[in-house]
Amino acid sequence: MFHNITKYIENEFLSKNHFPSFRSGDTITIFFEIKEGEKKRIQSFKGVVIKKQGKGLTKTFTIRKISGGIGIERIFVFNQPNIQKIEVNKKGKVRRSKIYYFRSLKGKKARIRS
């Protein structure tokens, strides 16, 4: 009963974003809107997809990038209204759906095959 109600609300009232399909290991760029007081600006975040999880409105994906020698991970929700667009820069070939081992790799070992 409850499952049917949530599915109905998702389909009827919430707008879904249509983005290109991507998997774990792909390098993507996300453009999202940031509000700072009265101003709005678009910021990009480019990194490797570590995992995708969930379904429906709670579907999320985690992106990891290295900035100044420090690893930065950010979690995005698929139906977040402030995501403007997603570009798939490079397809990666990995054998797992959640590549947590990628966090401990450095240098040449941190490359993902195309």
**Residue closest to 86 by CA, chosen among 3, 27, 8, 29:** 29
**Residue closest to 69 by CA, chosen among 114, 31, 110, 27:** 110
Mean pLDDT of 12-26: 82
Structure token pair of residue 47: 């990194």
Mean pLDDT of 34-47: 94
How far, in Å, CA of 13 to CA of 105, rounded? 43
Range from 10-24, 72-86, 92-106 carrying the lowest mean pLDDT: 10-24
Structural domains in the chain? 2-103 (2.30.30.790)
User: Distance between the two ends of the chain, CA-based, in angstroms?
Assistant: 45
